[in-house]
Amino acid sequence: MAERHVLGLSGGKDSAALAVYMRQTHPELDIDYFFTDTGEELPEVYEFLGRLEGYLGKPILRLNPRRDFKFWLKEYNNYLPSAQTRWCTRMLKLKPFEQWVTPMLKSGDKVTSYVAIRADEDYREGYSSKQYNLLIKLPFREAGIDKAGVMDILESSGVGYPSYYEWRSRSGCTFCFFQQKIEWVRLKERHPDDFDAAKALEKDALEHGSPFTWSKGESLSELEQPERISEIKAEYEARSARLRKRIPSNPLRPTKESPEDIDDVYGDDEGGGSCLICHK
């Protein structure tokens, strides 16, 4: 029986900051860092993980699902995953983690999993473990570290942010349905091959009766039309301007803009309730 420590990285800023924080505050712990790789990740995510590995001084384990996205799409009647039926997270993120951790738990090891829930976030039930020897720890909550604290950790360590924040507000698969429409437009501009691959998957799914499109209310073929792109960009600019005006300024505690805030202007209209496992 051994004591194991594990920390899952999503490719997003909170889990990366937690890895840095644990390295700084608990260098004595031999933590296994892991990333569940759906095979549909942005190149910027791999680049960021590489940067993080440099800081941590050890490799981040890549947990690959045994079956890829296309296999599961067929299994789920060609229904694209959606906020209502998020089978992708179950099969491509949770299952590989379970397959990895179950042998440790079965052999009686005590496994502590560190999760990047911040002090300014609600505790979510989903993080409790039902297994007696799997312990969940929330170091940021315990230490009172909020979003500004996470930003400080990443900036002061030199790790910085993933570069996809230049154009996208969340980590996750190239075709993640939690993307805002403006982010689909930018995916097309930045990674046209990934956009085309998502479009092909959607076309196939729709031909097989999928009730869902990647983006709410329209297919990617409709969304990519020049006049629709102009509309989406104009709406995004108008919303951003409105949002910036609403942010109160506090001279006593100036608030730094978090990279994902810059672009997450839609709130619950688009992308709300996004997946914590993929986007933390």
Binding flag, residue 38, ligand SF4 (CB under 6 A): yes
Give me 9's structure tokens: 């990285």
- Residues 157-176 binding ligand SF4 (CB under 6 A) are 172-173, 176
255 touches 153 (CB < 8 A): no
Binding flag, residue 93, ligand SF4 (CB under 6 A): yes
What span, in angstroms and rounded, lies between the C-alpha atoms of 223 and 231? 10
Sign, CA torsion 67/70/75/80: positive
Query: How many residues belong to the site for ligand SF4 (CB under 6 A)?
Result: 13
201 touches 213 (CB < 8 A): no
By beta-carbon proximity to ligand SF4, the closer residue of 60 and 91 is 91
By beta-carbon proximity to ligand SF4, the closer residue of 161 and 175 is 175
Give me 221's structure tokens: 């073929």
CB of 91 to ligand SF4, least distance (A): 8
Binding flag, residue 278, ligand SF4 (CB under 6 A): yes
What residues have CB less than 8 Å from 3, skipping those under 6 apart? 109, 110, 112
Binding flag, residue 88, ligand SF4 (CB under 6 A): yes
By beta-carbon proximity to ligand SF4, the closer residue of 173 and 220 is 173
Q: Measured in Å, how far apart are the chain's first and last C-alpha atoms?
A: 30
Question: Concatenated DSSP letters for 68-110?
Answer: -HHHHHHHTTTPPP-SS--HHIIIIIIHHHHHHHHHHHHTT-E
CB of 195 to ligand SF4, least distance (A): 15
Q: How many CB atoms lie within 10 A of CB 249?
A: 6
Residue range at the interface with ligand SF4 (CB under 6 A); choices 85-93, 133-141, 227-235, 253-261: 85-93
Candidates 89, 180, 210, 215; binder of ligand SF4 (CB under 6 A) is: 89
By beta-carbon proximity to ligand SF4, the closer residue of 54 and 267 is 267
Taking CB under 6 A as the rule, which mask of x and - marks residues 65-84 in contact with ligand SF4?
----------------x---
Summarize as ranges the residues that interact with ligand SF4 (CB under 6 A): 38, 81, 86, 88-89, 92-93, 172-173, 176, 178, 275, 278
